[in-house]
Amino acid sequence: MVASALFRKQTNKAGLALHEDDLRYLEVEGGLSNLKVVNKLSLPSGGKGVKKNSLANAGELLAPLQALGSRIGGFKTPVALSLPSRDILIRVVDLPELEMDDAREALQWDFEKYFPYSFSDAAVDIAKVDNPMKGEPGMMSVLVAACKLRTVESVMRLAETVKMPLDTIEPENVAMFRSFIGPTLSFPAGYLAVFTGPSASQLILGYRDNGILYRTSLVDIMPMEDGEMDFTPLVREISNTLTFAKNQYRDLLVESIILGGSFAGEGELKDVIAETSGIKVMTADPWGSWGLPFPRDDALNWDAAVGLAVRGLS
CB 211 within 8 A of CB 130: no
Quote the pLDDT of residue 10: 43
Distance set, CA 262 to CA 11, 67, 132, 146, 204 (Å): 29, 24, 30, 27, 16
Handedness of CA 11, 56, 164, 35 (dihedral sign): negative
Q: Is 197 inside any structural domain?
A: yes
Q: Is 300 inside any structural domain?
A: no
Nearest to 77 by CA among 313, 307, 311, 309: 309
Does pLDDT of 64 surpass 90?
yes
Instruction: Please list the alpha-helical segments (H only) found in the chain.
Output: 62-71, 100-114, 149-161, 172-181, 232-248, 267-277, 286-289, 303-309
Q: Is 176 inside any structural domain?
A: no
Which element (helix H / strand E) includes 204? Answer: strand 201-208
- How distant is the alpha carbon of residue 97 from its chain centre? 27
Number of domains the chain contains? 1
Question: pTM of this prediction?
Answer: 0.92
The span from the CA of 17 to the CA of 118, in Å, is 27
Q: What is the pLDDT of residues 71-119, one digit of tens each?
A: 999 999 999 999 999 999 999 999 999 999 999 999 999 999 999 999 9
Q: Is 253 inside any structural domain?
A: yes
Does pLDDT of 147 surpass 80?
yes
Quote the pLDDT of residue 314: 65
What SS3 class is residue 250? Answer: coil
Quote the pLDDT of residue 5: 46
CB 3 within 8 A of CB 118: no
The span from the CA of 119 to the CA of 129, in Å, is 21
**CATH number for position 230:** 3.30.420.40
Residue 129: phi and psi, rounded to 5, are -135, 155
Q: Is 91 inside any structural domain?
A: no
Mean pLDDT over 58-74 rounds to 97
Percentage of residues in the chain having pLDDT higher than 70? 96
User: Which range of residues forms the domain containing residue 205?
Assistant: 183-284
Q: Is 266 inside any structural domain?
A: yes
Q: Between 223 and 83, where is the model more confident? A: 83
CB 14 within 8 A of CB 132: no
Q: What is the mean pLDDT of the chain?
A: 92
Q: Is 207 inside any structural domain?
A: yes
Quote the pLDDT of residue 6: 55
The span from the CA of 29 to the CA of 303, in Å, is 17
Q: Is 195 inside any structural domain?
A: yes
